[in-house]
Amino acid sequence: MPSRSAKSWKAINRPFDPAILRRARKIAETYQIILHYEDGEYYGRGLELPYVMNDGKTPDECVEATRDILTTAVAAMLEDGQAPPPPASEQKRTEQINVRLTTEERLVLEEAARNKGFRGISDFVRTASMSQAKT
């Protein structure tokens, strides 16, 4: 009996429905690709799907290969009824983190947020954190 990973590979190693593939390609074309060069090879990964990656001898070859694997990943998601992530260029906030605070810390942040004109802690903390992270 084949292992689970062998079954998974078989499931992807076949043609996709042409309509799904067209839709996947259209979505994947909007995704940003991050390239880096190491040991004579270019490596690319999707910003929206960071674990989807490929390589190439030249930047153009790497982008093409990475775009192709992004299309495959999106097609598999669509087949499984999953919604692919929106393009990063849309700047939709889809990621969430949790921060534990003491009651006093929360009160201090709420007051600081109000004093700065924010409606809540989330926008205040995001704005303050991002301004610090960019410096």
Per-residue confidence band for 135, with pLDDT thresholds at 50, 70 and 90: low
- Render the burial of 74-111: b for 16+ CB within 10 Å, e for the rest: bbbbbeeeeebbebeeeeeeeeeeeeeeeeeeeeebee
Segment 24-44, tens digit of pLDDT: 999 999 999 999 999 999 999
Tens digit of pLDDT for each residue in 64-81?
999 999 999 999 999 999
Q: Are residues 81 and 110 in the same domain?
A: no
Domain count, the chain: 2
In this prediction, residue 127 has a pLDDT band, given cuts at 50, 70 and 90, of: confident
Report the CATH number at residue 84: 3.30.160.250
Where in the sequence is the domain holding 40, given as residue range(s)?
11-88
Q: What is the pTM of this model?
A: 0.64
Do 71 and 18 have their domain in common?
A: yes
Residues 21 and 83 in one domain: yes
The predicted pLDDT at position 31 comes to 95
Mean pLDDT of 122-130: 86
> Of 57, 32, 53, 52, nearest to 42 (Cα)?
57
Say if residue 16 is in the same domain as residue 82.
yes
